[in-house]
């Protein structure tokens, strides 16, 4: 099934419902219960619209949560970095103990090593 946009699908649903409402008598003569079909389509239409609204709301919430997370993560780093500087100053900045705890900040600044890639498979041999 091709993927259609939200507005296209809801528009199509509305158009089909209108056809069934307009041709209700003709469909009944052909043995089609137009009200049942329209009711089913209307239910799916409403559920689709409701889920789309919920999805859009969640997208907005996610964007807001991401912005808040980034801000608090940055603040956490700044506070930790300042606390580390305070601890280093209290231990005398050039002392072995201060140099040792300074490594905490150095460690997180180093990029992580990329995961090891498995070797390529051996070529198949013809027997």
Average pLDDT over residues 7-18: 96
Range name among 23-32, 38-47, 106-115 with the lowest pLDDT average: 106-115
| pLDDT single digits (tens) 108-127 | 876 667 666 776 777 776 65
CA contacts within 13 A on the Cβ side of 79: 6
**Tens of pLDDT, residues 68-121:** 999 999 999 999 999 999 999 999 988 999 989 988 888 887 666 766 677 677
Whether 116 is covered by a domain: the verdict is no
CB 40 within 8 A of CB 9: no
Which sign does the torsion angle of CA 78, 82, 83, 88 carry?
positive
Parent domain of 46: 6-109
Residue 14 lies in a domain: yes
With a cut of 70, say whether residue 17 has pLDDT above it: yes
Distance CA 107, CA 109 (A): 6
Q: Is residue 120 part of a domain?
A: no
* 121 in a structural domain: no
pLDDT tens-place string over residues 52-68: 999 999 999 999 999 99
pLDDT band at 1 (very low <50, low <70, confident <90, very high): low
Chain centroid, CA 61 distance in Å: 11
Q: Please state the domain count of the chain.
A: 1
Residue 34: in which H helix or E strand, if any?
A: helix 34-90
The answer to whether residue 26 sits within a structural domain is: yes
Whole-number pLDDT of residue 112 = 66
């Amino acid at each position: 099934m091709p993927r259609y946009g939200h507005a296209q699908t809801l528009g199509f649903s509305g158009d089909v419902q209108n056809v069934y409402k307009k041709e209700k008598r003709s469909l009944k003569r052909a043995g089609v219960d137009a009200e049942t079909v329209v009711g089913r389509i209307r239910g799916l239409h409403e559920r689709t619209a409701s889920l789309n609204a919920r999805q859009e709301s969640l997208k907005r919430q996610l964007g807001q949560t991401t912005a808040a997370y980034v801000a608090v993560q940055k603040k956490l780093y700044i506070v930790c970095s300042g606390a580390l500087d305070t601890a280093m100053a209290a231990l005398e900045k050039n002392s072995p103990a201060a140099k040792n705890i300074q490594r905490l900040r150095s460690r997180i600044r180093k990029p992580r090593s990329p995961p090891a890639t498995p070797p390529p498979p051996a070529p198949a041999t013809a027997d």
